[in-house]
Amino acid sequence: MEQRVIETLKILTESDKEACDLVKVSENEPVRGSGKRLFIESYGCQMNFSDSEIVASVMREAGFTTTSTEQDADLIFLNTCAIRDNAEQKVRNRLQHLNALKKKKPGMLIGVLGCMAERLKAKFLEEEKMVDIVTGPDAYRDLPRLVEEAETGQKGVNVFLSREETYADISPIRLNSNGITAFISIMRGCDNMCSFCVVPYTRGRERSRDPFSIVQEARDLFANGYREVTLLGQNVDSYKWTAPAGAESTLAAPVTFAQLLEKVALVSPDLRVRFSTSHPKDITDEVLYTMKKYDNICKYIHLPAQSGNSRVLQLMNRTYDRPWYLQKIDRIRAILGEDCGISHDMIAGFCTETEAEHQDTLSLMEYARYDYGYMFAYSERPGTPAAKKLVDDVPEAVKKRRLQEIIALQQKLSLERNQRAVGRVHKVLVESTSKRSDDDLQGRNDQNKVVVFPRENFQKGQYVHVLVTECTAATLIGKAVELEAVS
């Protein structure tokens, strides 16, 4: 297979808030080609940030180089999230600001990409007059044509959802700043149809990318200095690739997620492998035993629960109940041990949720002993089964109070879980300088916990053994040690 060149491009973080409130923007790179500048602002989940890397690559081929300031841009893309209403409102507020800029720079084009674009389609052009291009997650190859169309004064729209598109042949321009960690998208779409979720409607049906291009991308990244990859999908455990009809017999065997995980782990023992997200109904013992077999597969699982009550889970169409979920927690602990990191998603105040059912969520959290979580009050999304069939009847004040109780409990659990790490030595992959001090470095351990320690002579990309001496609910703090010196 032809060796592909991995280019690096920094990204700036504007705010470190909840997962779906993150905003990341492209940084300056040297002007080349036509001299046209592209500004990309990405909202939401890791899949969106990964998609922005694909967009940057597509537009690079069309002659655009990126900038970190919208004032310098000829073309602005907002890659949007639609999972909650406030994520969409943030985009609309941002467009109002950009409209003022566009009036001063009439030749500037503005495009809205991603899930919000897919949800609203051409209607978005009617609601937001300053927008020139609307493109869904499966139509990024068409962006150069849509830009050319918009340059003539026409509006460009492509919200076609594909059953085949995986962008497997596009080498992403890496938008993470540290040059150490990278995302690899292994599948797109979702077939789960949770009643509260817009993803199946904004990202389409599940389709898995071929394993050969995934492994090659991991090899290329490792050869270019990257030391950690995260395999991404809406539900990675449902990954299953089957060769197209007529393929050579040696390539025809189906590949499951556990098998793909092993293939990537075998790229190098010095390449850490993570993955996200897992669906409780699909994660198998085979995956857990593969994680156990390879030291470089991180012992951390993001396992969204959404609720701790079986009736609410049924209304959510999660396809499992409370006992099933707890059994999955038990299997993780039995196979990977008590130290395996587990995180969650949890929704407070879903339709008809009672106080007793909310207490079931809190008790499930206590049982699972989560390391951290992503916690939200329920936000009804237009077009979802919940919006069509259920009544959003939990008062906002009750939702907020329940959410605060979930957050408070998780902070307590996070502190307790982090306290288990004190007095132990952890293998840390250095990712960057600490946010609080240039004298310290920070990285993550096997369980995805942030570890901060004195810089000394260590560099980004190194593995350092750190003795953790103290902690907060969010961070482990320690000092580098010689492993041999610790009994």
Residue 266, CA distances (Å) to 222, 269, 271, 465, 478 in order: 12, 7, 9, 23, 31
Between CA 419 and CA 469 the distance in angstroms is 10
Residue indicated by tokens 């026409």: 154
Tokens standing for residue 284? 């198998």
CA nearest 165: which of 197, 208, 202, 133?
A: 208
Question: In which residue are the tokens 């840390």 written?
Answer: 428
Residues tagged in the binding site annotation: 45, 81, 115, 190, 194, 197
Q: What CA–CA distance (Å, rounded) separates 11 from 9? A: 7
Q: How many CA atoms, within 13 angstroms, populate the side-chain half-sphere of residue 415?
A: 7
| Residue 261: C-alpha distances to residues 100, 170, 253, 296, 396 (Å) | 48, 21, 16, 11, 42
Peptide bond connecting 319 to the previous residue in cis, omega within 30 degrees of 0: no
- In angstroms, what CA-CA distances link 369 with 73, 304, 412, 483? 47, 13, 10, 29
Give 199's Cβ-side CA count (13 Å radius). Answer: 19
Closest to 236 (Cα-Cα) out of 266, 270, 272, 211:
211
The answer to whether the CB of 462 falls within 8 A of the CB of 433 is no
Beta bridge partners of 479: 467
Residue 486: CA atoms inside 13 Å, Cβ hemisphere, count? 14
HSE-up of residue 419 (Cα within 13 Å, Cβ side): 7
Helices then strands, counting H and E runs in the chain, come out as 14, 23
Annotated binding site for [4Fe-4S] cluster: 45, 81, 115, 190, 194, 197
- Written as six digits, the tokens of 403 are 């959410």
Q: Which residue has the tokens 């922005």?
A: 52
Q: Any bridge partners for residue 274, and if so which? A: 230
Sign of the torsion formed by the C-alpha atoms of 368, 373, 379 and 384: negative
| Beta-sheet pairing, 133-135 with 156-158 | parallel
